[in-house]
Amino acid sequence: MKRYLILADGSIFEGEGFGAPTTTTGEIVFNTGMSGYQETITDQSYNGEIIAFTYPLIGNYGINRDDYESIAPTCKGVVVHEAARLASNWRNQLSLDEFLKQKKIPGITGIDTRRLTKRLRTEGTMKASIVDTADEHAFDQLNALVLPKNQVQQVSTTKPFPSPATGKNVVVIDFGLKHSVLRELSKRQCNLTVMPYNTTAEEIIQLAPDGVLLSNGPGDPKDVPEALEMIRGIQGKIPLFGICLGHQLFALANGADTYKMKFGHRGFNHPVREIATGRIDFTSQNHGYAVDVHSINKDNLLVTHIEINDGTVEGLRHRQYPAFSVQFHPDATPGPHDADHLFDEFMEMMDAFAKRSRENA
């Protein structure tokens, strides 16, 4: 079945449909990962976005039960050069085509993804549609689309829920949480309570946690003003660790600014330098916004990591409080595990804070 990908700049790409037999509209972005398509599609940081994979063959090892980052993915569509007709892997349970049909996500294959990626790198991310007919009406609908501002609200849990264990008590604020974050904390025996995005500082303090993790999530951090007051209310009182969107919100809460990038960082090969040591980690990233380095109040925040390719801010640490954040995903599924030591640093920060609290009691 013929299907078309149309872009807001007037570009048209003809291909074949797979996945759900429906049309869709959203912001199109590209991901440079060579594998990990299941984790990518189920990452709720892609809420409302059409994902174009630059790797030419997608779906060759199928879909399995272990690699979900969320149960109900919220991306709008999938664009590939070639969708594998057969999947070969001992964990395979169903094909990518079957999975997309189940989740009601349309796809298009046979696209020149190299040409598409060059277009997005030149013009920036933009609105796009996957349609059955690339006519004037389709472009009118695309141009009339208003991208939503409540993306975090769409994907965050509405009620708290636990993930019990016997170790440190950690509150996780869900802005679009990846399951791999929970896996990393669970590996360290953390007793977790996952809370909605609009949880207040008072509600967190009442739980008396050993630490708070601000999760990843979709969209513009400035669309989540509720989180800023919460962060200001707990930093200094409870150790804090922010990841991706959580990093941007941590920066905003401490007086810095953020901006929309031309095409963002989405992939698993982004080199990041830790400034203090010179250590370079290859990291998993998925974000379209970044912290403006010139807006950072150096009396409050210290830049700890930078992206080697473009110099963007990749890590921050508070100068007075036990709080730090990173733009990349140290949980890294998919992707390299170079930076998973940051979860251990979070554990050590909580231990050090508890020790000081006992000594000062």
Containing 162, the helix (H) or strand (E) segment is strand 161-163
Q: What is residue 144's three-state secondary structure? A: helix
Give one DSSP letter per residue of 93-128, joined into a string. Answer: -B-HHHHHHHTT-EEEES--HHHHHHHHHHH-SEEE
CA angle 317, 318, 319 (to 5 degrees): 115
Q: Confirm whether residue 129 is marked as ligand binding.
A: no
| Identity at 86, one-letter amino acid code | L
Give residues with Cβ within 8 angstroms of 343, minimum separation 6.
184, 185, 188, 330, 331
Q: Confirm whether residue 217 is marked as ligand binding.
A: yes
Q: Confirm whether residue 286 is marked as ligand binding.
A: yes
Give residues with Cβ within 8 angstroms of 110, minimum separation 6.
14, 15, 16, 81, 82
- Structure-token pair, residue 63: 């879909």
Matching residue, tokens 């695309």:
142
Q: What is residue 247's three-state secondary structure? A: helix
Q: Confirm whether residue 288 is marked as ligand binding.
A: yes
Q: What is residue 35's three-state secondary structure? A: coil
Q: Confirm whether residue 15 is marked as ligand binding.
A: no
Residues classed as catalytic: 244, 329, 331
Nearest to 77 by CA among 36, 35, 25, 139: 25
Nearest to 126 by CA among 63, 67, 52, 182: 52
Q: Confirm whether residue 311 is marked as ligand binding.
A: no
Q: Confirm whether residue 360 is marked as ligand binding.
A: no
Q: Confirm whether residue 156 is marked as ligand binding.
A: no
- Residue numbers belonging to the annotated binding site for L-glutamine: 45, 217, 219, 245, 248, 286, 288-289
